[in-house]
Amino acid sequence: MIGLLLISVIVVAAAVVKAVDSDNWTIADWFNLTISLLLGIYFFFLAQQVNSNAQKRAEALANADLITSAGRLAMSSARSLAGSEAASLRVAADARAALQHYPYAEATVQKELAKSVSDAYNNLAFSTFLHSDSLARSVWARVLEGTASVVAETDKLAFTRAGRLRDPDLVPVADHVGFIELLGRDLRENAGPDLSIHESRPLSAVWDVTKLRHSRRPNISRPEKEETIRRLDRLQMLYRDELTVLHDWEVLRKNAENLSCEVELADIAAAHEWLAPWYVRQMADGQPAPANVLGGGLNERAQYDKLQVNASTPLWPNALEHGNLPHGMRTKGIANLSHVLESQSSPTVCVLAYELCLDEGTGKTKRLVLDGNHRLAAAFRMSPEDAACSQGRKTTRRFRVLTFLIRERQPVDDLIATGDHEKIPYLWRGFTPDVGLVRGTWRPGLPAAEGLEGLRDSPFQDKIVLDGRP
């Protein structure tokens, strides 16, 4: 288009000159004009080619720098997860360095960077910010400065100077980093007063963005359903990689009016009756064995656990309580987490829990831990009142449980289909299959009258084991 415009301008100029001075316009002048025109066009397209190659090289360099910066960011965040304060201070600088290349990179690389930044701060949430109450004041101040700079840098890329939205993919990243900062602030403010036995203390300030001086989002008043959806978005991003059980966040958004999302700090004793998505089945030979949500065997190391149960141990489909896990259950994983907890600077563990409404009339509820079960079990093992403490282990640590809680006001019991028959189960009720199983509205192999049409005829029916019997 620019080349055609250039040619048109030259031709029009030549025509004007010829019209004005037609007597002196000779064939030599036409020849010179033609040569000049051809040379101009040639050099124009040559410059365009050079410029195009330069743009491609610049984009490639930006992508390379961005990928390198994202790699450094991932390394720093991984080290912070292992407890390195120096690495946690480095995360903000690496995130800002990566964001400098963001505008010049490809769209796919930009999305990967946005995920890298949020993942890095997820790691900080489960490490540095979780133990913010034990950080030195100077270290905590540097962590807050770094967080503020990341939010400011992200906002600068997400919005124009006039405040108009420019990149919607970066807004959730800035919001999420701010949420994690608020989490650390609230935990630090609640470090002083000790929790009494069985006490749970709400941390409502984690949702109050007015405490973030660097945030460009005002603390607007939203309808209750929209506020719940906003909080679900934060929990989904926080547990994007951590939550490994089958789940469906969309069913929670559709039923947001029946839910509330909260953050609590609870004494370890309050979690005694919380359920774990762990089950025990009775084998054909009468021996107990770990079971999955279908009542069948596990496909992980824990399948070899030798359980010691008694008459009071619930069998599948009943889930186990954290305060009464049978000896031998998940021993390797719990032992590994015990070593991690021993090296932590403060006795705090983190879980994602779902509180089921079992009876609307009586208000009966039951809390199910969806993530953090090994950490919680390890904390119970290390608690002073645990029997293991009397067998050579000396500890006075009383653990606190940071609980990200999804609470039902009314049962959310929609039928979920994953759309992928390679997943077992691909039909269940509630947020996760464990929710429907604990509630009693879903069980593998129920007849069609129970609302699970087609499950009994599924190609995986022969793999489902009930009470040790095929």
Residue 202 domain-assigned (yes or no): no
Distance from C-alpha of 39 to C-alpha of 35, rounded to nearest angstrom: 6
**159, 190, 221: which is the final residue of a domain?**
190
Residue 16 domain-assigned (yes or no): no
Does 174 score more than 70 pLDDT?
Answer: yes
Same domain assignment for residues 62 and 177: yes
Does 458 score more than 60 pLDDT?
Answer: no
Same domain assignment for residues 290 and 172: no
Same domain assignment for residues 275 and 384: yes
Tokens representing 217 are 């989002």
Q: What is the mean pLDDT of residues 176-191?
A: 89
Residue 179 domain-assigned (yes or no): yes
Q: What is the mean pLDDT of residues 424-430?
A: 85
Same domain assignment for residues 164 and 63: yes
**170, 190, 210: which is the final residue of a domain?**
190
Residue 34 domain-assigned (yes or no): no
**163, 190, 217: which is the final residue of a domain?**
190
DSSP 240-279: TTT--S---HHHHHHTGGGEEEEEEEEEGGGGTT-EES-E
Same domain assignment for residues 130 and 274: no
- At 191-246, the pLDDT tens digits run 766 777 877 889 998 998 877 776 666 667 788 999 999 999 999 999 998 998 89
Q: Is the distance from CB of 259 to CB of 407 less than 8 angstroms?
A: yes
Same domain assignment for residues 274 and 380: yes
Same domain assignment for residues 423 and 276: yes
Q: Is the distance from CB of 214 to CB of 145 less than 8 angstroms?
A: no
Same domain assignment for residues 298 and 410: yes
Overall domain count for the chain? 2
Same domain assignment for residues 172 and 283: no
Tokens representing 230 are 């906003």
Per-residue model confidence (pLDDT) at position 426: 78
Same domain assignment for residues 175 and 281: no
Same domain assignment for residues 180 and 325: no
Does 338 score more than 80 pLDDT?
Answer: yes
Residue 285 domain-assigned (yes or no): yes
Among residues 402, 453, 408, the alpha carbon closest in space to that of 432 is found at: 408
Q: What is the mean pLDDT of residues 361-383?
A: 91
pLDDT category of residue 455 using cuts at 50, 70 and 90: very low
pLDDT category of residue 11 using cuts at 50, 70 and 90: low
Same domain assignment for residues 301 and 399: yes
Q: Is the distance from CB of 144 to CB of 152 less than 8 angstroms?
A: no
- Domain span at residue 137? 53-190
Q: What is the mean pLDDT of residues 11-25?
A: 61
* Burial annotation 280-299 (CB, 10 A radius, 16+ → b, else e): bbbeeeeebbbbbbbbbbbe
